[in-house]
Amino acid sequence: MTLVLGIDIGGTATRAVVTTLGGTRAGFGRAGAANPVTIPAAEAAANLTAAISAALSTVDASRIGVAVAGAAGGSRPAVLQAAFDTLGVQCPLHVVGDAEVAFAAGTGEPDGSVLISGTGAVAAEISGGRIFRTADGLGWLLGDLGSGFWIGRTAATATARALYRGDPPGPLVARVTAAVDETAADPFVVAVHTWKPRDLASLAPLVTAAAADGDTLALSIMDEAATHLCETVAEIRPPGDRSPIVLAGGVLRHCSWLRASVHDQLRVTWPEAVVCLAAPGEEGAARLAARLLR
């Protein structure tokens, strides 16, 4: 039986899955980030090799008919091909945008919109299965509004402001100061600036947890993130569009509070559209790979 390999290259993790053409899982691997824009080439190559190697450990690699990898931003096919060569994988490899993979992970339709919030954030209009245009996706320095980075950075800013004002620490401030290991204002700000900026996305789950505690600061950050994400969708999606809207990315997948808020806001503008949650990106990549063989 012919197998396919699907790879999702994200800002926080790289995941690879081997499936049958019908989508039954035969192998899986996970490693650290291999995002080609922000991760050094050697580290990206090591993480890609580790994830693919783990996925292949339970199957015969020669049975894989085709591989599809989804990557945010400018892709680095050479790094991916080098990992294939190292592992002796000889099937054809297609590198596509992470938005195409995410859309395929959420729907079998050819046209619609996809909103991704993971470490970064982007919305894309998909036409005939391909990205037609995008909004945001500008990276942590210039955009990614409503992403895990944005939520984490906004939580750090809110915490710094609370420390300078001398507010009694609520659930969010208590969690963030514990994570940064500084409770005084000046040292807190200095410590955060020593982080790699994208690592601020690691604070996003603290906002989710504090929101669940009813922390008003955390809830307002989540509200603002949801509004940003829906505004990003509106940049590429006309009013009245009835095509599906796929929600994807680690933040939208794992933060049910944010997902519900985004869902509600999207339904106000596009009441006739199906809004659905994508499967993990590597499964979308495997679905695209299977389509290539049919």
Q: Is 238 in the site for a second copy (CB under 8 A)?
A: no
- Of the pair 236, 290, the CB lying nearest a second copy is at 236
What distance in Å separates the CA atoms of residue 7 and residue 96, rounded to the nearest whole number?
10
- Of the pair 66, 176, the CB lying nearest a second copy is at 176
Site for a second copy in 136-175 (CB under 8 A): 138-143, 153, 156-157, 160-161, 164
Site for a second copy in 193-222 (CB under 8 A): 193, 197, 200
What distance in Å separates the CA atoms of residue 225 and residue 281, rounded to the nearest whole number?
22
Q: Is 37 in the site for a second copy (CB under 8 A)?
A: yes
- Of the pair 6, 73, the CB lying nearest a second copy is at 73
**What strands lie across the sheet with 25-32, from one edge to the other?**
25-32, 13-20, 3-9, 64-71, 93-97
Select the residue interacting with a second copy from 113, 119, 134, 261 (CB under 8 A): 134
Select the residue interacting with a second copy from 2, 110, 133, 242 (CB under 8 A): 133
Select the residue interacting with a second copy from 41, 78, 190, 292 (CB under 8 A): 190
- Of the pair 140, 270, the CB lying nearest a second copy is at 140
Q: What are the beta bridge partners of residue 183?
A: none
Which contiguous run of DSSP H or E holds residue 68?
strand 64-71
Handedness of CA 104, 110, 115, 119 (dihedral sign): positive
Buried-exposed string 164-190: b where 16+ CB fall within 10 A, e elsewhere: eeeeeebbbbbbbbebbebeebeebbe
Q: Say what the alpha-carbon torsion angle 67, 290, 94, 102 is, to the nearest 10 degrees.
A: -100
Q: Which range in 76-84, 109-117, 127-135, 246-254 contacts a second copy by CB under 8 A? A: 127-135
CB 35 within 8 A of CB 11: yes
- Of the pair 73, 250, the CB lying nearest a second copy is at 73
Tell me how far, at minimum, the Cβ of 122 lies from a second copy, in Å: 10
What distance in Å separates the CA atoms of residue 180 and residue 187, rounded to the nearest whole number?
10
The 57-76 contact track toward a second copy, x by CB under 8 A, reads ----------------xx--
What distance in Å separates the CA atoms of residue 234 and residue 228, rounded to the nearest whole number?
10
Q: Is 242 in the site for a second copy (CB under 8 A)?
A: no
Tell me how far, at minimum, the Cβ of 273 lies from a second copy, in Å: 23
Tell me how far, at minimum, the Cβ of 31 lies from a second copy, in Å: 22
Handedness of CA 216, 226, 247, 241 (dihedral sign): positive
Tell me which residues touch a second copy (CB under 8 A).
37-38, 73-74, 133-135, 138-143, 153, 156-157, 160-161, 164, 186-187, 189-190, 192-193, 197, 200
